[in-house]
Structure 1
Amino acid sequence: MQISEDVHNYMENLVGQVLARPEYTEQFDNDQLADLACLALIQLKPVYIRHDIDFLSTLSEQRLMLLKEYAETAVSSAKGMILEDRRKNRQDEFPVIFTNPRFDEDAELEWFEKPILKQQIK
């Protein structure tokens, strides 16, 4: 099994359908569309599936409309972030300097790096 080929996030399809509309393709370049997709998808709960046809055959029309609405809202919100990109008009560029880099392999993981589920020791 190869997860990248056998399993995918259905919300990517819905976000892609929204971004394929002329209102987005004519206004944004490919890099901006990719940014829009990332910003939209990060707002959405993933729906991992194997086969679209199997998923859609069990999905109610009402639920599909709701998922499409979520995708629309997420892309709309992401569009605002792209249009108001604060990186464009930076006046003061400050270099980032790491004064105390930490490359200790034995260092304890940060809270966000720790697995959510604890492994059971047998």
Structure 2
Amino acid sequence: MQISEDVHNYMENLVGQVLGKPEYTEVFDHDQLADLACLALIQLRPVYIRHDIDFLSTLSEERLLTLKQYAETAVASAKGMILDDRRSNRTDEFPVVFTKPRFDEDAELEWFEKPILKKR
């Protein structure tokens, strides 16, 4: 089994549908659309599925409309970040300095890194 082929996040489809609209494709270039997709997907709870048809056949229309609205809202929010891109307004280049070049394996995990399932 290869997860990338057998399992996918359905929210990617919905975000892709939103970004396929002329209001985005005619205003943003390819890189900006990719950034929009990333920024929108970060805001959304993933819905992992194997087959779209099986998922859609069990999904109520009300829930599908809700998921589509979530995607619209996330993309609209991400649009503001792209339009107000602070990286394009830089006048000085500052070097990046890493103060801790090695990963601390004893550091406590962040809340989003902790496994969902608890050990028995």
Q: Output the TM-score relative to the length of structure 1.
A: 0.86
Between the aligned partners of 1:36 and 1:114, the Cα distance in structure 2 is 24
Read off the aligned partner of 1:69 and give its amino acid letter: Q
- Tell me the SS of whatever aligns to 2:79: helix
- Tell me the SS of whatever aligns to 1:42: helix
Deviation at 1:53, TM superposition (A): 0.4
- Tell me the SS of whatever aligns to 1:79: helix
Read off the aligned partner of 1:31 and give its amino acid letter: D
Deviation at 1:114, TM superposition (A): 5.9
State percent identity of aligned pairs.
78
Partner of 1:108: 106
Between the aligned partners of 1:68 and 1:33, the Cα distance in structure 2 is 18
Q: Which digits, 9 at most, give the CA deviation of each residue in 1:81-122, with x for residues without a partner?
A: 000000001123221223552367xx41442296435656xx
Between the aligned partners of 2:113 and 2:44, the Cα distance in structure 1 is 23
Deviation at 1:39, TM superposition (A): 0.2
Q: Which digits, 9 at most, give the CA deviation of each residue in 1:51-99, with x for residues without a partner?
A: 0001001111100000000000000000000000000011232212235
Between the aligned partners of 1:43 and 1:103, the Cα distance in structure 2 is 27
Partner of 1:97: 97
Read off the aligned partner of 2:106 and give its amino acid letter: E
- Tell me the SS of whatever aligns to 1:97: coil
Between the aligned partners of 1:95 and 1:118, the Cα distance in structure 2 is 42
Over 3 Å counting, the alpha-carbon distance change for 1:19 and 1:108 in structure 2 is: same
Partner of 1:13: 13
Partner of 2:51: 51
Superposed structure 1 runs of 4+ greater than 3 Å apart? 117-120
Partner of 1:64: 64
Larger radius of gyration: 1
Structure 1 or 2: more helix by fraction: 2
Q: Output the TM-score relative to the length of structure 2.
A: 0.88
